[in-house]
Amino acid sequence: MNTGENPPTQFVDNDLKPVGHGRMLRKEDARFIRGKGRFIDDIQLPGMLHLAILRAPIAHGRIVSVDVTLAEAHPKVKLVGTGAMLAEHGLAWMPTLANDVQPVLATDKIHFQWQEVAFVVADDRYAAQDALELIDVEYEQLPVVVNARTALEASAPVIRDDLAGKTDNRCFDWETGDKQATDAVFARAEVVVGQEMVYPRVHPAPLETCGAVANYDPIDGDLTLWSTTQAPHAHRTLYSMVAGLPEHKIRVISPDIGGGFGNKVPIYPGYLCTIVASMLTGAPVKWTEDRFENLTSTAFARDYVMHGEIAATKAGRILAIRTNVLADHGAFNGVAAPTKYPAGFFGVFTGSYDIQAAHCAMTAVYTNKAPGGVAYSCSFRVAEAVYLIERLVDCLADQLGMDPVELRLLNLLKPDQFPYTSMTGWIYDSGDYESTLREALKIADYAGLRREQAEKRASGELMGIGVSVFTEAVGAGPRKDMDILGLGMADGAQLCLYPTGTAVLRVSCQSQGQGHETTFAQIVAEEIGIPPADIKVVHGDTDLSPFGMGTYGSRSTPVSGAAAVLVARKVRDKAHLFAATMLEVTVADLEWRKGSFHVIGDPAKSLTIQQIAKWAYGTGQLPDGVEGGLEAHIHYHPENLTYPNGAYICVVDVDPGTAVVTVRRFIAVDDCGTRINPMIIEGQVHRGLTDGVGMALMEMITFDEDGNCLAASLMDYLLPTALEVPDWETGFTVTPSPHHPIGAKGIGECATVGSPPAIVNAVVDALKPYGLRHADMPLTPSRLWEAMNGNAQPP
């Protein structure tokens, strides 16, 4: 581990030190800042038709009839699709990524408000949208369940009566850890603290909504689908399975994506409707969601009701943690989670602490709400796990009258405990949590902040300081126990060095704004010693990139990034063989200095990688058994996840009169192992911290008791802007991953995962004078005002 500022300056502008290059600007920004990005809605094909979707205004009910006569008679309408029509083609239902099924268009029943009922394809988008109003659907309303707590009551209507033998709203039960051992520790613990907390339903709300353009060629039987997908290859396999099209005849292209944040992982009914529409009309068809559709029908996140307990000694040693979770999955289990992990990686709820036992029991339920449940920079439910443990630790500190930092320092895992096998069976690869926390304390001047707080309290001001020390789990995942629908979570990479010494890297992961075209070029540049500018990164097109599982759970760096390193090393090894032949020495006579091979003892005798590349395609005699050309391919399975970590400190002021929270300072020290592009990392962290302010203070998808979604626009679903966030103060430590070839861990979701508990902890700390111990997110002024005025009177 080492701490510090940006890497030594002598390397900064040196292309031969591409990894860690402090100021390398993003290649893709050349087009983005000129407005030349190519997003789904920019795609125009000759003769393209437009699709719009009719959605159900009720949350639960039977479809009595669907009359499309008038819509079909509209002069600009080319096709009207209904559930009944899709059923004729066997396409009315599709599998979800969690082995559940979901209607593409409702056939006989509506399961949530704004579920897809029919589509119209017309010459232009206006006509398609207008014609939706000509469709006459008669519904028969059923009682609605929107509350996970009441979903399991005997009187609750059964939402998923499509599932054979289903008599309740149970989606799945899951447990992890050792119940007996945990209960035994709790039984003899000196201190037990419990707290129920709700992680509300939130939405990733990317700037660009979801959409697709399908172009089916009836002559060749080829389907090209441009779609907002974070996982083009996995989607292609699923389309092949669902639609019965041969997989090699499907090309999925994910062009520039205006933010995904997990929202673009699932397959949505709209994509399939667009494909069907193109196949039936023989024309290209475009579908673009509007904001309302995006917020009400696509993958939400969280919706966990967690009851957590922590057992400790009076001196503050944490002994065990147990939790009961009620997970609301909405109407269909639409999460993307490895088969063995229906609750994602929630199993890391033991956090960064050295404990003796842990147990989690979870019940997931169906409700009349939109499906999804994992999206929004969540690292497969690590967001929920981190929130639970970091809130609980603060509750314990409160109970014991200890400083929350002291309590954490007492319990953090020590560097020599890594690799550490957690009480729920996860193997944390590396970490130095105390150093990360101490770096944050230093930047914050924690002791100074506490003094300031004491002074302010004395004068009636409400200042709070909140801490979270979190461990993330990213980079799914090891073949032995992780898959999506039976597909192992490996990534392909292919590297080709051309005769003139420039290169193309093809990767299976997919950028939604993370800057892969830059960082993956940096990775390869570091390994083969040619400048990043000479390396083009190709991604997001199944015809042009090798198979892999795509981008989510911050897996690009841990998995595809490792693949890029290893494929570059394969190319370098081949260049090594060629260099030996060219110089008429043995391989052992040569040493690699970034960019060239040198004869040991006679370093003036050398060859650059570019010279070798030219030779590789030339006419010289090749070494025995070696093919010409300079390229390689790899299919990489990680042996473990990577476990980045961070220590965050948040300082808030709460207005005693209005209960408005201002995040005044936020110190974030992250450790994602080896840092490839510090500027991009910082951007990722800034974004995630902003997410945290949103979730902690503003964002929530709510429903009324009839199942009406009350957060269907950005006027109701509040997103943070620059006005709500402070100047972020970031720092870092570097503890490389021992199993990643360059020691890099993921960073994309760390700040989203780690910041909400720090903010809530700070607000609760500010409101200590009111006796507050917990309040559920989002900490809106009205909620806090009620908490302040419903509790003990102010001093």
Residues that bind ligand CUN (CB under 6 A): 230, 260-262, 265, 374-378, 552-553, 749
CA nearest to 300, candidates 257, 268, 325, 347: 268
* Tokens 């009636």 belong to residue: 460
* Tokens 């031969």 belong to residue: 16
CA nearest to 709, candidates 51, 56, 265: 56
d(Cα 675, Cα 742) in Å, to the nearest integer? 9
By a kind-dependent CB cut-off of 5 to 8 A, residue 694 interacts, out of ligand MCN, ligand CUN, none, with: none
Least distance from ligand MCN to the Cβ atom of residue 257, Å = 7
Structure tokens at 579: 């260099």
Least distance from ligand MCN to the Cβ atom of residue 507, Å = 10
Least distance from ligand CUN to the Cβ atom of residue 259, Å = 10
Sequence letter at residue 770 = Y
Q: Secondary structure of 612-678 in the HEC alphabet?
A: HHHHHCCCCCCCCCCCCCEEEEEEECCCCCECCEEEEEEEEEECCCCCCEEEEEEEEEEECECCCCH
Contacts of 255 (CB under 8 A, 6+ apart): 38, 39, 40, 42, 43, 226, 540
| Site for ligand MCN contains 556 (CB under 6 A) | yes
d(Cα 334, Cα 262) in Å, to the nearest integer? 12
Q: What share of the chain is helix, strand, coil (3-state, %, to 5)?
A: 30, 25, 45
Structure tokens at 505: 């890297």
With CB under 6 A as the contact rule, the residue among 189, 238, 507, 744 that binds ligand MCN is: 744
Name the segment binding ligand MCN (CB under 6 A); options: 46-54, 436-444, 587-595, 674-682. 674-682
Report whether 15 contacts 531 (CB < 8 A). yes
Report whether 177 contacts 426 (CB < 8 A). no
Cα 687 to the center of its chain, rounded Å: 13
Which residues in the 3-42 window bind ligand MCN by CB under 6 A? none
CA nearest to 194, candidates 619, 745, 785, 773: 773
Least distance from ligand MCN to the Cβ atom of residue 262, Å = 4
Cβ closer to ligand MCN: 50 or 745? 745
By a kind-dependent CB cut-off of 5 to 8 A, residue 374 interacts, out of ligand MCN, ligand CUN, none, with: ligand CUN
Report whether 339 contacts 265 (CB < 8 A). no
With CB under 6 A as the contact rule, the residue among 178, 328, 390, 749 that binds ligand MCN is: 749
Cβ closer to ligand CUN: 226 or 376? 376
By a kind-dependent CB cut-off of 5 to 8 A, residue 556 interacts, out of ligand CUN, ligand MCN, none, with: ligand MCN
| Site for ligand MCN contains 297 (CB under 6 A) | no
Cβ closer to ligand CUN: 260 or 338? 260
DSSP letter at 340 equals T
Cβ closer to ligand CUN: 102 or 510? 510
Nearest to ligand CUN by Cβ — which residue? 262
Least distance from ligand MCN to the Cβ atom of residue 766, Å = 30
Name the segment binding ligand MCN (CB under 6 A); options: 160-168, 336-344, 545-553, 621-629. 545-553
| Site for ligand MCN contains 672 (CB under 6 A) | yes
| Site for ligand MCN contains 555 (CB under 6 A) | yes
d(Cα 659, Cα 767) in Å, to the nearest integer? 10
CA nearest to 540, candidates 24, 28, 17, 9: 28
| Site for ligand MCN contains 254 (CB under 6 A) | no
Sequence letter at residue 564 = A
d(Cα 468, Cα 437) in Å, to the nearest integer? 9
Contacts of 3 (CB under 8 A, 6+ apart): 435, 439, 731, 732, 733, 734
Report whether 472 contacts 426 (CB < 8 A). no
With CB under 6 A as the contact rule, the residue among 95, 259, 531, 629 that binds ligand MCN is: 259
Residue 165, preceding peptide bond in cis (omega within 30° of 0): no
By a kind-dependent CB cut-off of 5 to 8 A, residue 514 interacts, out of ligand MCN, ligand CUN, none, with: ligand MCN
d(Cα 267, Cα 352) in Å, to the nearest integer? 34
Cβ closer to ligand MCN: 394 or 749? 749
With CB under 6 A as the contact rule, the residue among 61, 81, 262, 404 that binds ligand MCN is: 262
d(Cα 375, Cα 714) in Å, to the nearest integer? 18
DSSP letter at 125 equals H
Structure tokens at 631: 């390229």
Least distance from ligand MCN to the Cβ atom of residue 750, Å = 8
By a kind-dependent CB cut-off of 5 to 8 A, residue 761 interacts, out of ligand MCN, ligand CUN, none, with: none
By a kind-dependent CB cut-off of 5 to 8 A, residue 501 interacts, out of ligand MCN, ligand CUN, none, with: none
Cβ closer to ligand CUN: 431 or 513? 513
Contacts of 700 (CB under 8 A, 6+ apart): 200, 201, 202, 711, 717, 777, 778
Cβ closer to ligand CUN: 71 or 383? 383
With CB under 6 A as the contact rule, the residue among 49, 374, 647, 681 that binds ligand MCN is: 681
Cβ closer to ligand MCN: 321 or 744? 744
Least distance from ligand MCN to the Cβ atom of residue 674, Å = 6
By a kind-dependent CB cut-off of 5 to 8 A, residue 271 interacts, out of ligand CUN, ligand MCN, none, with: none
* Dihedral sign computed on CA atoms, order 400, 405, 406, 409: positive
Rg of the chain over Cα atoms, rounded to whole angstroms, equals 27
Sequence letter at residue 514 = Q
Cβ closer to ligand MCN: 49 or 299? 299
| Site for ligand MCN contains 301 (CB under 6 A) | no
Report whether 326 contacts 305 (CB < 8 A). yes
With CB under 6 A as the contact rule, the residue among 61, 232, 720, 748 that binds ligand MCN is: 748
Cβ closer to ligand CUN: 224 or 684? 684
Exposure string of 278-295, with b = 16+ CB inside 10 Å and e = fewer, is bbbbebbbbbbbeeebbb
Which residues in the 330-389 window bind ligand MCN by CB under 6 A? 377
DSSP letter at 560 equals I
With CB under 6 A as the contact rule, the residue among 78, 675, 764, 784 that binds ligand MCN is: 675
Least distance from ligand CUN to the Cβ atom of residue 552, Å = 3
Length, in residues, of the chain: 795
Least distance from ligand CUN to the Cβ atom of residue 376, Å = 5
Cβ closer to ligand CUN: 260 or 431? 260
| Site for ligand MCN contains 61 (CB under 6 A) | no
Least distance from ligand CUN to the Cβ atom of residue 260, Å = 6
Which residues in the 493-512 window bind ligand MCN by CB under 6 A? 512
Least distance from ligand MCN to the Cβ atom of residue 676, Å = 3
Least distance from ligand MCN to the Cβ atom of residue 374, Å = 10
By a kind-dependent CB cut-off of 5 to 8 A, residue 265 interacts, out of ligand MCN, ligand CUN, none, with: ligand CUN
By a kind-dependent CB cut-off of 5 to 8 A, residue 54 interacts, out of ligand MCN, ligand CUN, none, with: none
| Site for ligand MCN contains 477 (CB under 6 A) | no
What does the DSSP assignment read for 499-527?
TTS-EEEEES---SSS-HHHHHHHHHHHH
Cβ closer to ligand MCN: 286 or 555? 555
Residues that bind ligand MCN (CB under 6 A): 259-262, 377, 512-516, 519, 551-557, 672-677, 680-681, 684, 687, 744-749
